[in-house]
């Protein structure tokens, strides 16, 4: 009876939500046996969706919120666009491109990744990850930016912050390093750490 009551309560709460029920909750509610028929509460915070029994201090079920691509538990600094002289832009962007190319070439040498390849020509880096897609990063001197094309999150334009010495996307204030580390770590299945911090002219 306790199991039936828990499943009924969870289904009622989930049905009242305007968002689509995550599949992990549906599977768990159909198989989980509750200790009592206490009512459950759905809680969403920090990119996590949980079902809590009202008498418990820990969630019965927890899983990722599929609507969130990145975690915001450790927000990045508030970046601002710096007005770079032409020479400084080229020095900083060239150093950034060189670091990325060298780093991703080293990954290709250290790991057997089907379809992996790195190319750099005329200010354009092309990083091929086989079936995971292709990343392109290129210099954009007229705007003093770096432009990125990602198979995961699409196109982005990065400006430079002289104070924090990093390239960042002004719409979400995530750095270029953050995006590359996050997406490519997931694509390759092992942690990467692109050395883009502290680039100066």
- Residues 175-201, mean pLDDT to the nearest whole number: 94
For residues 52 and 92, state if they share a domain. Answer: no
pLDDT for residue 74: 58
At 183 the pLDDT is: 98
pLDDT in tens, 13-46: 344 444 444 444 444 444 443 333 333 333 444 4
Alpha helices (H) in 61-175, listed in sequence order: 86-110
Query: Which residue is listed with tokens 């008498």?
Result: 55
**Same domain membership, residue 149 and residue 100:** yes
Q: Clarify whether residues 166 and 100 are in a common domain.
A: yes
> Is 17 inside any structural domain?
yes
CB 114 within 8 A of CB 188: no
Q: Give yes or no for residue 48 having a pLDDT over 80.
A: no
26 and 115 part of one domain:
no
Residue reference for tokens 């780093």: 103
pLDDT in tens, 114-172: 999 999 999 999 999 999 999 999 999 999 999 999 999 999 999 999 999 999 999 99
User: b/e per residue, 156-188, with b = 16+ CB within 10 A?
Assistant: bebbbbeebebbbbeeeebbbbbbbbbbbeebb
Q: In terms of residue numbers, what domain contains 9?
A: 2-64
**Predicted pLDDT at 64:** 38
pLDDT of residue 198: 84
Longest dimension (CA), the chain: 74
Asked, for residue 70, whether it belongs to a domain, the answer is no
Contacts of 85 (CB under 8 A, 6+ apart): none
- Where does residue 165 fall: left (phi above 0), alpha (psi -120 to 50 degrees), or beta otherwise? left
What percent of the chain has pLDDT above 90? 59
If asked whether residues 57 and 20 sit together in one domain, one would say yes
Pair of tokens at residue 94: 């060239």
Structure tokens that stand for 24 in this block: 């992990």
How far is CA 135 from its chain centroid? 15
Please say which residue of 31, 64, 97 terminates a domain. Answer: 64
- Number of folded domains that form the chain: 2
Q: What is the CATH number of the domain that holds 157?
A: 3.30.920.10
Give Cα separations from 174 to 50, 74, 138, 186 (angstroms): 27, 11, 18, 17
Check whether residue 59 and residue 112 sit in a common domain: no
């Amino acid at each position: 009876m306790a199991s039936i009551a828990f499943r009924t309560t969870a289904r009622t709460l989930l049905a009242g939500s305007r968002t689509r029920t995550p599949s992990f909750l549906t599977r768990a509610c159909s198989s989980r046996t509750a200790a009592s028929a206490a009512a459950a509460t759905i809680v969403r915070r920090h990119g996590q969706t949980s079902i809590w029994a009202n008498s418990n201090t820990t969630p019965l079920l927890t899983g990722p919120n599929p609507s969130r691509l990145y975690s915001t538990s450790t927000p990045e600094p508030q970046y601002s666009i710096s007005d770079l002289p032409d020479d400084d832009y080229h020095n900083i962007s060239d150093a950034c491109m060189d670091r990325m190319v060298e780093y991703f070439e080293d990954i290709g040498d250290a790991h057997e990744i089907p379809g992996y390849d790195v190319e750099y020509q005329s200010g354009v880096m092309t990083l091929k990850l086989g079936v995971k897609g292709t990343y392109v990063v290129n210099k954009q001197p007229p705007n003093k930016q770096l432009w990125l094309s990602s198979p995961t999150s699409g196109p982005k334009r990065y400006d430079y912050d002289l104070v924090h010495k990093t390239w960042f996307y002004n719409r979400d204030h995530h750095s270029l390093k953050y995006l590359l580390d996050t997406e490519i770590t997931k694509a390759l299945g092992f942690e990467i750490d692109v050395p883009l911090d502290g680039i100066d002219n």
